A = this chain, B = another copy of it.
Amino acid sequence: MTAAETETEGDFKLYAIEKYHANVEPFYLPISDEVELFAAAFQQRIPVLLKGPTGVGKTRFVEYMAWKMGRPLTVVKKGSPGDGEEGEATEALPLVTVACHEDLTGSDLVGRYLLEGGETKWIDGPLTRAVKAGAICYLDEVVEARKDTTVLIHPLTDHRRILPMEKKGQLLEAAEGFLLVISYNPGYQSALKDLKHSTRQRFISIDFGHPPKEIEAQIIVHESGIDSQTAESLAKLGEKVRNLKEHGLSEGVSTRLLIYAGRLIEQGISARRACQVAVVWALTDDLDVQRSIEEVVSAIFE
């Protein structure tokens, strides 16, 4: 993924978090009207919750929308749900992504004081940077974070659009482009009930599922470089494995793993062995479930 480069030493590159954005249109194939819904919400600055299982493309979708909503602001005409022709955007919106986890605190998002040159200096956290830069801020799996983080986002998601920075004794009013997007995976039931109604009812909700077989095959071809026929076989495998879900598989196979299989095949590994290491073993340690999936693999790649 390309981005505005800010520093390079040796082989690696360093960017400021709030400068990160795509330079070319990210590859994304819409499944339904999710692009129009997000665009309407963005115009109204209504916060958005993306709901769906692992590896279904939520992160890629946000990258794509940050590109679509870029400056000069794309005008979405009423009644004409777009199909990609709004190509006049010249710069993507910056996108600040924070993968949440159970140790993530409010200070991690807002910022903290740091000693520098004998003085304490305030360092903005990623949320503050997004609020100032007018970026889209994507809090991935927000229910995992500590409770003080959800409280922080409340005044950012109502008419106030402010971020309280209590340690500095200040309030920060969001820049114009700022929008908050969060995601969660309803498959993790325990986490689900942790998203309190006072937080949840601040977002509209867009549901994501696995792409249909034809679209998934196109994605596999694009991402792994293998031929269409093998890609279609892998997509068929994906569909069948997801139907095994009620047989002890806690979550279906992601498109990502199917792409891995494609890339190993491209590298010269046999299709059945590639599916074994990239799909069967990667999905489960249960020997019975492994056997069921291997039967599906054998049926497809005889």
- Counting CB contacts under 8 A, is A55 at the interface? yes
B residues less than 8 Å from A10 (CB atoms):
132, 175
Chain B nearest CB from A251 CB (Å) reads 4
Q: Mark A233-263, 1 if CB is under 8 A from B, else 0.
A: 0000000000000000011011011001001
B residues less than 8 Å from A40 (CB atoms):
264, 267-269
- Count copies of this chain in the complex: 6
Asked whether B172 lies within 8 Å of A14 as measured between CB atoms, the reply is yes
Chain A 78-128 interface residues, beta-carbon cutoff 8 Å to B: 78-80, 97-106, 108, 113-120, 123-126
Asked whether B192 lies within 8 Å of A43 as measured between CB atoms, the reply is no
Chain A 163-177 interface residues, beta-carbon cutoff 8 Å to B: 164, 166-167, 169-177
Asked whether A197 lies within 8 Å of B256 as measured between CB atoms, the reply is no
* A44 interface neighbour in B44, B49, B100, B264, Cβ under 8 Å: B264
Asked whether A148 lies within 8 Å of B101 as measured between CB atoms, the reply is yes
The closest CB in chain B to the CB of A161 belongs to B1
- Counting CB contacts under 8 A, is A17 at the interface? yes
Asked whether A120 lies within 8 Å of B124 as measured between CB atoms, the reply is no
B residues less than 8 Å from A162 (CB atoms):
1
Chain A 55-72 interface residues, beta-carbon cutoff 8 Å to B: 55, 59
How many Å lie between the Cα of A257 and that of B172 in the bound state? 25
Asked whether A204 lies within 8 Å of B260 as measured between CB atoms, the reply is yes
The closest CB in chain B to the CB of A1 belongs to B160
- Counting CB contacts under 8 A, is A46 at the interface? yes
Chain B nearest CB from A157 CB (Å) reads 9
Asked whether A201 lies within 8 Å of B123 as measured between CB atoms, the reply is no
Asked whether A172 lies within 8 Å of B268 as measured between CB atoms, the reply is no
Q: Is the interface of A mostly helix, strand, loop or mixed?
A: mixed
Chain B nearest CB from A166 CB (Å) reads 5
Asked whether A172 lies within 8 Å of B260 as measured between CB atoms, the reply is no
* A97 interface neighbour in B12, B78, B164, Cβ under 8 Å: B164
Asked whether B46 lies within 8 Å of A264 as measured between CB atoms, the reply is yes
Asked whether B113 lies within 8 Å of A12 as measured between CB atoms, the reply is no
Q: Which of A171, A192, A278 has the most CB of B within 10 A?
A: A171
How many Å lie between the Cα of A36 and that of B267 in the bound state? 10
Asked whether A105 lies within 8 Å of B106 as measured between CB atoms, the reply is no
Asked whether B14 lies within 8 Å of A171 as measured between CB atoms, the reply is yes
Asked whether B278 lies within 8 Å of A204 as measured between CB atoms, the reply is yes
Q: A17-B170, A97-B155 are known; give 13 further A-B pairs, CB within 8 A.
A: A15-B173, A16-B169, A46-B263, A101-B146, A103-B146, A103-B148, A113-B115, A115-B120, A141-B198, A144-B151, A158-B256, A204-B257, A204-B260
Q: Enumerate 5 A-B pairs (CB-CB under 8 Å) in ascending A order.
A: A33-B273, A44-B260, A77-B268, A115-B115, A117-B118
